[in-house]
Amino acid sequence: MSDIIRIGVIGAGRIGKLHARTLSALVPGVKVTAISDLVPEAAGAVAAECGIGRVAADHRDILADRDIDAVAICSSTDTHAGLIEEAAAAGKHIFCEKPIALDLERIDRALKAVADRRVLLMVGFNRRYDAGNARLREAVASGRIGAPELCLISSRDPAPPPLGYLKVSGGLFLDMMIHDFDLARFLLGDEPEEVFAFAGCLVDPEIGKIGDVDTAMAAIRFKKGAICHIDNSRRAVYGYDQRAEVFGSLGMAQTDHQYNDNTVLALASGFSRPPIKNFFLERYLPAYQEEGRVFAQCVREGREPPAAGRDGRIAVAMGYAALKSAKEGRPVKMSEFPGC
């Protein structure tokens, strides 16, 4: 493998475009050499913007390309597992957007393919690469704040996605809170034992009509004793609210709001700061950049990525546990899910 990691991007939608841009312009040592999409015009537009040499309508063209070291799977969720298997068969290392699949058995088959072919698989839990979350993890891992006892994560979107998206998303727990489940495991360095969740439809009744919720709170007991809170809302009028806090025997570490700029305005009515960064593209751009850098480094060094297949599987299982808890009105043990 040359020093430059050559990547093919599969899928040129919102998230594919994001990864293509970030990998092309902001990650050193990486080159996006091909992009595919079922709509070739979409792939072509991204290729033109990012200077990507090859455009394909069929992802198999990318998999067949011997010069490509790795693929970034950014297509729709229902295609992830199959593409992982195909990519593994083609001997490509794999970055795959979350979730791997909405079905644990389907995930297991995909992970088996990855293990069999000894390729690397990194799942797109971008928040692990956020500088603030990384410092929180470090505060726990180094023992600086002692044994973790409480963990609080708030994650609120500025506005609900379109109903069309929500219908195939797997629902709030598997589409949105899945990030927070992974973040909790990452921050605590521990595994969940039991999940309880309350959920409701407070933002938009249309979301309830399709069987989903838009507001939820989960409490999770971890194996070593720490208790974790997660809250999600599909609508925070003041921006994309992303905060985490770990409280331990020797101290606490938390992330603060990230405002649009660092100004303070003082008028007779009081002091004001601007809204916080409005959505994940702005808020997590440096995290996506770092994610790309880490993926390339793992590929280069043949090292297991920080968020690997197993992490992707557990986060999905936690989503199902929360969903079950909210539906059945009882705490759900992770041991109800095989392999957790």
Considering the rule CB under 8 A, would residue 205 count as an interface residue with its own copies? no
Considering the rule CB under 8 A, would residue 227 count as an interface residue with its own copies? yes
Among 2, 250, 302, 327, binds its own copies (CB under 8 A): 250
Helix 177-188 to helix 309-328 angle (10° resolution) is 120
DSSP readout, 176-215? THHHHHHHHHHHHTS-EEEEEEEEE--S-HHHHHTT--SE
Token digits of residue 326 = 């909210």
Tell the smallest beta-carbon distance from residue 278 to its own copies (Å): 11
Tell the smallest beta-carbon distance from residue 188 to its own copies (Å): 13
Distance (Å, whole) CA 301 – CA 175? 31
Token digits of residue 148 = 């973790």
Tell the smallest beta-carbon distance from residue 260 to its own copies (Å): 7
- Contact map string, positions 285 to 314, toward its own copies, x by CB under 8 A: ------------------------------
**Helix, strand, or coil here: 42?**
helix
Considering the rule CB under 8 A, would residue 145 count as an interface residue with its own copies? yes
Which of 1, 204, 33, 283 minimizes the C-alpha distance to 120?
Answer: 1
Considering the rule CB under 8 A, would residue 278 count as an interface residue with its own copies? no
Considering the rule CB under 8 A, would residue 216 count as an interface residue with its own copies? yes
Taking CB under 8 A as the criterion, which residues in 28-87 touch its own copies? Answer: 51
Considering the rule CB under 8 A, would residue 155 count as an interface residue with its own copies? no
Distance (Å, whole) CA 145 – CA 166? 39
Which of 138, 86, 93 minimizes the C-alpha distance to 113?
Answer: 86
Residue 26 or 104 having the CB closest to its own copies: 26
Considering the rule CB under 8 A, would residue 237 count as an interface residue with its own copies? yes
Considering the rule CB under 8 A, would residue 196 count as an interface residue with its own copies? yes
Token digits of residue 159 = 């506005």
